[in-house]
Amino acid sequence: MIQAGLIVRRARVINIGSIRRNYSTTSLLRLSESISSSRRIKWVKLFSTFSSSNCTLGVKIILPRILTRKCDEKGNITTKKSPSPSPDPISLVSKGSFSAQPHVIFQNTFSSTANGESASNSENSDAIHPISKNQAKLLERTETLLSDDFPAGTLTVSQLIDVSNCIFLWINTGEHRYLGAKQAELLIKRLILERGGGKSLGEIDNENTMVEWDMLKFEKFVIYINSLYHGQDFTEKILSIVSFFEKEYISSTKTTTSLLDCRNLLEVPYKSIISTLCKRRTGHAAATAEQVLHRFETRLSSSSRNKYDNVNIAPYLHSNPPTVPTYNNVISCWFYSNSDNYPRHYEPNYFHDINPASNILYQMLHLYNLDPENMERIRPDYGSFNMAIASLSELQKNGNGFRSHQAIGKTCFDHLSTMIQFYKDGYEDCAPDYKIFLKVLNALELDRRRGNWSLARKVLEEMLHLSGTVDSNVYWTETMHQDASEKRDNKWKNVNVFPRTKDFNIILAMIANADVVDQEKLDYATNLVDLMEHLVKKERSGYDNESFSNRIVQFEGHGNSYNCKPDIFTYNTLISIAANAGRPEVAEETLKKMAKKSAAGDFSVKPDKTTFNTVISAWARSKTHSSGDKAAGVIHLMQKMADEGDESVRPDRISLTSVMNSLISSAKRSRNAPLQAEDIIQRMEQSKDSHLQPDTVTYTSLIKCWGQKGGLKAAERAEKIIDTLHKRYDDGYIECKPDSYAYNVALDTIAKSGVGDAAERAEAVLNRMKNLFNSGKTDLAPTTESFATVMNALARSGNPESGVKAEELLQTMHNLQNEGISNVEPNTIAYTTCIMAWRNSGHKDAGKRASFLLQKMEAYYDEGLHDLRPNVITYTNVMEAWISSGQHDSFERVKAILDHMIHRSKTVDSECAPTTICFNVALKAIRLSSEPMKDQKAQILFDRMKEMHESGDVKVKPSIQTYNAFFSACALTEGSPERRRAAFSIAIKALLELQKKSNMHADSYTWPAVWKLCENLLDAEKDISWINRVFEYTVKSGAINELLFNNIRRFLPKEYLKKKIKTEKDVYDLTVHDLPSEWTRNVTLGKQSKKNQKKGRRK
């Protein structure tokens, strides 16, 4: 309410300590008897409140207010001038005169400090201590020097020295630190006023010209207030002095109109101020130095010279403008202050980057690019770029770099690119060194942005180019090795940026971690390793390029490892790249290369477990027919080397599990894959090494391998392996503790095994899982996946009761969820699988139950449960459930669901919009319905589909399956011959429409469906013209296969077909091989035995 700042204007020093010991209302009234009662009413009430609550703070703050402020008749503080004037020294400074008043204690009102605490508490420490006699004398001496008895420009040399000495004394003596800071500030401003005021009066010969920078004691003053103030408080203190400099030195009382007059103005010591601030190396000192630098640069700019003044002046000329070292000084201050970002309270005058050092560098480049000729003085040099990149690297390492506009690595790359361009343009002070390149590479690697590997590649290319090793991109060509040994241009002979092994490894690691590793990246990585090997080879044989050899010696002299020899990490990363690119043979070839080098004595590249395991993983991920055998071969090699004495490569659990994964990939194509996996498990079980014992993950991989194989054996082994896990865990093998994931894999294997009792087996495993969980084994809690997998097994079984059982499981999930078990929450997959079970059951109530479940899902979703959002698959299965139920109104139900999907997609959920498959299912419903006029129903639905697609709905584009379904529906039209011919005419129009489409062609089901139209709707004798037309279309398609030929000759008259084939043989003695080649050009015909040749003969 009342701030801590105060001015005590009494002839005697008040002993605050005595007042603290007696702070009743009566004592306060006695002490304030000099104030009339009418003026102190409000203060007395306020002190009564503080007194009753024993608040000492009220005595310390409000009492000085009573004793030192004049009040109006209402008791409010007034700024009315008192009969005995005691002017505010701050206002006097601006006027150029001072009034002497004994024992004036100057205090200031402070804002919050950097750590969020108010400075008032520290100032109160000044208020509660009386000033000493020495300080009182110093204060009196100060007030004399600040009095208006000495106008600006009139102090003698001895008085100037006295002012300087007083500054020193206030900074270095006394308990009243904030008082000392304020007095020192006023004395500094007095010296500034002395110098500026005298100059403005034109008194060139006056002693005030003796005021020098050292007399201000500015460096000691900055050190002093740096210990008192933080953040914005510190900045405001310094800027108030800078503003006073500018006011007195630049904006004199006389308006400057000529360039000559402007030259006679005093120069503000901006660079000295900046240099002094930068020595502090704190965040607030750096922020203040940046602001001062910006003010300096702004005043030098004619376009914004009046920003800090209210008068019109000519462009400010300064004999010592800011230069690159000035900017570098501020950048360095930011860096050494450990300030990776701007402080929250500080808002920079320009913003290019969140990092202060990088932001200043961008500003230097911005100003330079605007006027390169005149701003050459601030063109960045090596120090500018190096410090900015180093600051960005620290920002990245500290994890403080949330950057919405760009990545840190990309920013470092941009700075390096600019630096290199300056150097290539002839500015040798921008020559990059190895350390800068390494910082940028590390920044790109830490960026975790997958696309940055291409930027890192450019960095490495520049290192190779500038070092004279190879030209840019030369290692993409076949002549790389020859070019590497040629002499280079000596233009960059002093740039020591020869890349080391770790630089190459960074690029390789970034390629390995890229989102997509293709053949191009693998080729680049392979060439990169080849280049490393070539450079090492040339080093050993001696270089023809003398300058390059000299650089090698220079690197060695600096104690840096210049060697770019590939190491174990290089080759392991190359193997990983090959694995990610799907080239396991390249990975294995690299392994053999490493083994060969190791055998020749190069033990630095001896393959380790990581090498072997990565190769095994490469084969496991390849999913080729021989992947399992290849991975097993690598594991056998590891075992052989271990048996020969190399224990470092003995297969471990990771190795064997990787082999298991490779066998999983080949299990569908290799009968022996599960047996090989079983053999590996058996060897692991028999091993005496505890690190080789199989664990839960290994056994789970074995179940997966059997799952890929399928069949009764797979289901039986899945159950047996679960039993093995329990047995081994009970025997003390804690690494074999069964968990929910192992059970879920077993359930999936059983469900997809294809055996008749798969559903019953899966239910038994799920019940076992639930019983174990209920007994306290929390690791075996059934999950949503567990129940959904069993429901999938029920759906696959096709049992009439599968829908009922699946819905019971769904209800069990809801019950467990209500009991607080969160990992069994029903979701879209669970509900859709349950509906699928009803669809496949063929139950008469399948459609009703499926629709009921769909309505529940929609209700849950509308209530905000988005995990139960019905999708297109859900709706399609409900439609199929109605079809399989065989109800008389199935088609109407299917059509209603289709209409509902269209309406809901426009009003509630756009994701449930129907697709082509939905319309195909509706056409299927027409075909299987009891509707006699199927052609008209199909035509209406087909036209609606095409209309929606032409309106922009790409999800309902008719497909070849749509046309096939349309033909099949029309083929079952009932009625008179005329009615059937009309249906055939509708279908033929659709066939002609299909033949005109360039992006859609008939498949193996289309022409059989068309001939089914002919067989059901036409008379072979009376409608021969229609039949002849269809026959010509069929022959022209070249798609007559064995099945279609059998259908045609079964329907067409024998003589008609013999004439078309041009044969005298019985058409039933012919095969598809006897037909003209043009009829069968678009189908694959296999060899047929004599038995198959007579397959079509009539019995």
| Structure confidence by residue, pLDDT tens digits, 819-848 | 888 889 999 999 999 999 999 999 999 999
Residues in CB range of 489: below 8 A, 6 or more apart:
468
- Residue 898 three-state SS: helix
**Which pLDDT score, from 0 to 100, does residue 174 have?**
60
**Which pLDDT score, from 0 to 100, does residue 413 have?**
92
**Which pLDDT score, from 0 to 100, does residue 17 have?**
39
Q: How many CA atoms lie within 13 A of 430 on its CB side?
A: 19
More confident residue, 835 or 668: 835
**Which pLDDT score, from 0 to 100, does residue 849 have?**
95
More confident residue, 247 or 949: 949
Q: Which helix (H) or strand (E) holds 920?
A: helix 916-928
Residue 409, CA distances (Å) to 281, 353, 445, 514 in order: 26, 13, 8, 15
Residues in CB range of 96: below 8 A, 6 or more apart:
151, 152, 193, 197
Instruction: pLDDT band for 650, please (50, 70, 90 cuts).
Output: confident
**Which pLDDT score, from 0 to 100, does residue 100 have?**
33
pLDDT tens track for 1035-1091: 888 888 888 888 888 888 888 888 888 888 888 888 888 888 888 888 876 554 344
Q: In this structure, are residues 105 and 179 in contact, taking their beta carbons and an 8 Å threshold?
A: yes
When mean pLDDT is compared across 569-573, 646-650, 673-677, 1089-1093, the lowest value belongs to 1089-1093
User: How many residues make up the chain in this entry?
Assistant: 1099
Mean pLDDT of 206-231: 81
**Which pLDDT score, from 0 to 100, does residue 476 have?**
40
- Other CB atoms within 10 Å distance of the CB of residue 966: 28
Q: Is the dihedral of CA 728, 731, 737, 739 positive or negative?
A: positive
Instruction: pLDDT band for 562, please (50, 70, 90 cuts).
Output: low
Mean pLDDT of 43-55: 43
Mean pLDDT of 896-916: 93
Q: What percent of the chain stands above pLDDT 90?
A: 42
Mean pLDDT of 967-979: 93
Q: In this structure, are residues 342 and 286 in contact, taking their beta carbons and an 8 Å threshold?
A: no
**Is the pLDDT at 509 greater than 60, yes or no?**
yes
Q: How far is CA 1070 from the centre of its chain?
A: 67
Q: In this structure, are residues 910 and 953 in contact, taking their beta carbons and an 8 Å threshold?
A: no
Instruction: State the Cα–Cα distance between residues 125 and 107, nearest whole angstrom.
Output: 12
**Which pLDDT score, from 0 to 100, does residue 208 have?**
53
Candidates 263, 96, 275; CA nearest to 195 is: 96
More confident residue, 564 or 202: 564
**Which pLDDT score, from 0 to 100, does residue 12 have?**
31
Candidates 479, 354, 501, 372; CA nearest to 425 is: 372
Average pLDDT, rounded, for the chain: 79
Q: In this structure, are residues 167 and 211 in contact, taking their beta carbons and an 8 Å threshold?
A: no
When mean pLDDT is compared across 58-72, 523-537, 644-658, the lowest value belongs to 58-72
Specify burial of residue 535 (Cβ count, 10 A radius: 0-12, 13-18, 19+): buried
Phi, psi of 71 (to 5 degrees): -120, 155
**Is the pLDDT at 903 greater than 80, yes or no?**
yes
Candidates 1043, 1042, 1095, 1087; CA nearest to 1069 is: 1095
**Which pLDDT score, from 0 to 100, does residue 179 have?**
87
Running DSSP on this structure, what letter comes out for residue 651? -
Q: Which helix (H) or strand (E) holds 1031?
A: helix 1024-1037
Q: Which helix (H) or strand (E) holds 226?
A: helix 218-226
**Which pLDDT score, from 0 to 100, does residue 535 have?**
85
- Residue 71 three-state SS: strand
φ/ψ bin of 67: left (φ > 0), alpha (ψ from -120 to 50), beta (otherwise): alpha
**Which pLDDT score, from 0 to 100, does residue 745 have?**
96
Q: What percent of the chain stands above pLDDT 70?
A: 77
More confident residue, 1053 or 12: 1053
**Is the pLDDT at 464 greater than 90, yes or no?**
no
Mean pLDDT of 134-157: 84
- Predicted TM-score (pTM) of the model is 0.64
- Residue 1097 has which token pair? 């003969």
Mean pLDDT of 354-372: 92
**Which pLDDT score, from 0 to 100, does residue 1086 have?**
58
- Residue 51 has which token pair? 């007194």
Residue 840, CA distances (Å) to 736, 803, 846, 851, 925 in order: 38, 8, 9, 15, 15
Residues in CB range of 510: below 8 A, 6 or more apart:
444, 445, 452, 453, 456
**Is the pLDDT at 309 greater than 80, yes or no?**
no
For residue 247, the one-letter residue type is K
**Is the pLDDT at 8 greater than 60, yes or no?**
no
Angle at 115 between CA 111 and CA 119, to 5 degrees: 35
- Residue 118 three-state SS: strand
Q: Name 790's bridge partners.
A: none
Across 72-81, 123-132, 340-349, 946-955, which has the greatest mean pLDDT? Answer: 946-955
Mean pLDDT of 340-360: 86
**Which pLDDT score, from 0 to 100, does residue 1097 have?**
43
Residue 748, CA distances (Å) to 715, 768, 824, 838 in order: 9, 15, 17, 20
**Which pLDDT score, from 0 to 100, does residue 964 have?**
94
pLDDT tens track for 758-804: 999 999 999 999 999 999 998 999 999 999 999 999 999 989 999 99
Instruction: State the Cα–Cα distance between residues 696 and 1044, nearest whole angstrom.
Output: 54
**Which pLDDT score, from 0 to 100, does residue 809 have?**
95
More confident residue, 5 or 516: 516
**Which pLDDT score, from 0 to 100, does residue 175 have?**
63
Instruction: State the Cα–Cα distance between residues 460 and 452, nearest whole angstrom.
Output: 13
Instruction: pLDDT band for 400, please (50, 70, 90 cuts).
Output: low
pLDDT tens track for 77-93: 443 333 333 333 333 33
- Residue 112 three-state SS: strand
- Which residue intervals of 53-117 are DSSP H helices? 56-68, 89-95
Instruction: pLDDT band for 209, please (50, 70, 90 cuts).
Output: low
Residues in CB range of 36: below 8 A, 6 or more apart:
none
Mean pLDDT of 1015-1023: 87
